[in-house]
Structures are given as C-alpha cells and as structure tokens.
Amino acid sequence: MLSLFATLWQADSAFPNGGFAFSNGIEGLADLGQRLDREGLTNVLAMALTHRWMGMDRIAVSLAFAAADDMDRLAEIDLRFDAATIPALQRAGSRRNGLGLLTAHARLGTGAAAEMKRQVETGRMRGHLPVIQGAVWRACGMDETSVLAASAYTAVTGMTSAAVRLSLIGAVEAQSCLRATLPLMARLVDDAGRAGPLTCDDFESLTPMLDIATMRHATSEVRLFSN
C-alpha cells in the first residue's frame, strides 16, 4: 500500500514539479495545424508513449531506479540521456522539469535528493526528468513498476493538460483521450517489466513529427509553453 499511495502522491498534478510550463510538443503541433481533437490527440499520445517514452524515458527511469544512490552511475545515465535527446527544447524542458521535481524533494528531505540537486547545480549532472524520477521515486518507497507507471502517466497527463489550456480540446474530451490511452500504458509498462537488461546504448526515439514541431516552436514569437 505504501508504494500505491506514494505513486498516487507523485502522479498528482498538484505536486510542485514545474511541469505546468511545458506542452511536450503539443503547442508546436497546434501551430503546424495538426488536428488535436479527441481522435487526433489520442493518436499523438499513443505515438509519444510508444516511440519516445518506451525507448527513452522508461529506460532512463529503470536504469536510475537500479542505480539508486550511486551518483557516478546516475551522472553517466543522465549524460547519455542528454546526448540522445536531439531537440534542444526537449533537453531544456526535461532538465527544468527534473530540477523542479528534485528541488521539491530536496526540500521534503527525500533520500539523496539534496545531493543530486548539488550535483546538478555544479554541472556534474544534467538533471533530466526520467533520471530524477527513477532515483527519487525509489526513495519514496515506490517499486519499479509503480515508478514506470507514474512516469508514463505524468507524461500523458502533461500533454492532455496542455491541450486543454490551449483550448484545443475540452476537459471532458481530454479525459476521454486519457482513458483511451490507459490500456496502452498498461501494456507498455508490463512489457517494460518483462524486458531483459537494458543499457544506455538502447536509448532510441522515433517521433519526427513531435521533434519538428518542438524545434519550430523554438522560433515562435508568441507561445504559452516553453516547449
């Protein structure tokens, strides 16, 4: 039950992790004229989960979860994740979100959060969100499956929340998209649990539409979100 309640706590959008400032490509897609109604947004969520979260975030989360308090190993995973993330706004957003989560947990006194924050501030770590999630959430008493589930869930809810705030879709329709995506999230987390050992060499992402939208978003004169 502790793992369950810790997961609910960390997946709660009210937790102060700074994610409200990022659309993870949704605003850029809207600028390109991408249809983001219920069907369109559901398809985008599935694409992001299958072709970005599964090949990038979930690997970093699992590796960081296993590394726990090994700062040298966490720094290595973090730097490799940074190198594998091509769009500059994605890198910046992941690092800012990671620092937001880390800062909150450092103030809460969670595990080695204060030391990780110092590593980020001195430049030894970049502080990418999935790496921070894996290490900090383990210290919160969450098991690996719960950590992966919370990572996938918060990635999706961040995108649906951005779509609502941009008035691309209504709040109830966004919840319909989220509900439609739950079976996919469950399958991906289950598949991740059955996967064999992974390394940083396994990082891969294939979301050209999201990447292009994010990179074009960097030059937009008017924007609500940072990415």
Give the pLDDT of residue 227: 65
Residue 72's domain is classified under what CATH number?
Answer: 1.10.4190.10
Domain total of the chain: 1
Q: CA 227, CA 135: separation in Å to the nearest integer?
A: 25
The residue ranking higher by pLDDT, 31 or 218, is 31
Residue 145 lies in a domain: yes
Residue 10 lies in a domain: no
Minimal CA–CA distance to 94: which of 194, 25, 143? 25
Q: CA 160, CA 41: separation in Å to the nearest integer?
A: 8
Integer angstrom CA distances of residue 81 from 67, 132, 160: 15, 12, 24
Residue 179 lies in a domain: yes
* Model confidence pLDDT, tens digit, residues 148-175: 999 999 999 999 999 999 999 999 999 9
Place 180 in a pLDDT band, splitting at 50, 70 and 90.
very high
Residue 15 lies in a domain: no
Give the pLDDT of residue 70: 95
Q: CA 50, CA 152: separation in Å to the nearest integer?
A: 10
Minimal CA–CA distance to 34: which of 201, 199, 186, 159? 159
Mean pLDDT of 193-201: 87
Residue 120 lies in a domain: yes
Residue 146 lies in a domain: yes
Place 33 in a pLDDT band, splitting at 50, 70 and 90.
confident
Mean pLDDT of 202-225: 83
Mean pLDDT of 216-223: 71
Confirm if 99 and 120 have CB atoms less than 8 A apart: yes
Residue 17 lies in a domain: no
Query: Which structural domain, as residue segments, surrounds residue 135?
Result: 38-212
Q: CA 69, CA 203: separation in Å to the nearest integer?
A: 22
Round the average pLDDT of the chain to a whole number and report it: 92
Residue 162 lies in a domain: yes
- 3-state secondary structure at position 126: coil
pTM comes to 0.94
Confirm if 77 and 85 have CB atoms less than 8 A apart: no
* Model confidence pLDDT, tens digit, residues 39-95: 999 999 999 999 999 999 999 999 999 998 899 999 999 999 999 999 898 999 999
